[in-house]
Amino acid sequence: MKKSCFIFTFVALFLVPDIAYAAASDLTLVTGTAGENGEMSYSISLQILFFMTLLSMLPAALMSMTSFTRIIVVLAILRQALGLMQTPSNQIIVGLALFTTLFIMAPVFESAYENGIEPYLEESIGFEDALSETGSPFHRFMSNQTREADLALFSEMAGYEEFNSIDEIPFRVLVPAYITSELKTAFQIGFLIFIPFLVIDLVVASILMSMGMMMLSPMLISLPFKIMLFVMVDGWNLVMGTLAASFIVA
């Protein structure tokens, strides 16, 4: 409670002078203009505030509305399967996942810019139309990756009975369904990656046990064999190629 009061007081100290100055200079911070079809066009100051709010949500949008989730989970499982706890480091895995995400999502980003952002900057469409056109490519991308069972689950929880088309699915239903589907797909890919390395661990552990070398760690002996196998089959090429090909980009 004290923390909330402190934050409110802190914000008020900064807002009160600005509000007083705006009132003194007869400056209207928020204005709305009705269009020909009944839509509302808001003032530039409010639109800038909205865009700044969206910028603060970019990290969450990157993780929840792109291919980043599937890639980072698969790479983490791969590192665990190899038995390398800190190699590659978290920074390298995140960087690899980020640039692979940019590679996969490039058509979506280009479509969002060409259909939504660029026309808005040229003032050929309104703010609401630009927002809709910018989100439409992401909506199609997530719809193509989302399982029907996950979509039906969150639709039922949100109180929706049935959608006539994919375009009618709201983002508040599509995003959690998409994340759930991505986690399931990532774990399926991770399971297939884990199997050959698990076989190596079992073989090495059986050999050591048969030789009576109970005090020697099987993980220490199997590690170079797993690395050699991964390098011989060109594992990074296979993993990253499979991840990139597993996405359906509309």
Mean pLDDT over 45-58 rounds to: 67
Tokens at residue 225, please? Answer: 């064999």
* Angle, alpha carbons 206-208-210 (nearest 5°): 70
Which of the given ranges, 25-29, 38-42, 92-96, has the highest pLDDT on average? Answer: 92-96
Query: How much of the chain, in percent, has pLDDT values that exceed 90?
Result: 7
Q: pLDDT by residue (tens digit) across 129-148?
A: 777 788 888 888 888 888 88
> Other CB atoms closer than 10 Å to residue 182's CB: what's the count?
25
Q: What span, in angstroms and rounded, lies between the C-alpha atoms of 201 and 197?
A: 6
Would you call 228 exposed, middle or buried from its count of C-beta atoms within 10 A (0-12, 13-18, 19+)? exposed
Q: Is the pLDDT of residue 5 over 50?
A: no
- What pLDDT, on the 0 to 100 scale, is given for residue 73? 92
Q: What is the pTM of this model?
A: 0.72
Determine contact, residues 46/30, Cβ cutoff 8 Å: yes
Residue in the structure block whose two tokens are 């069972």: 149
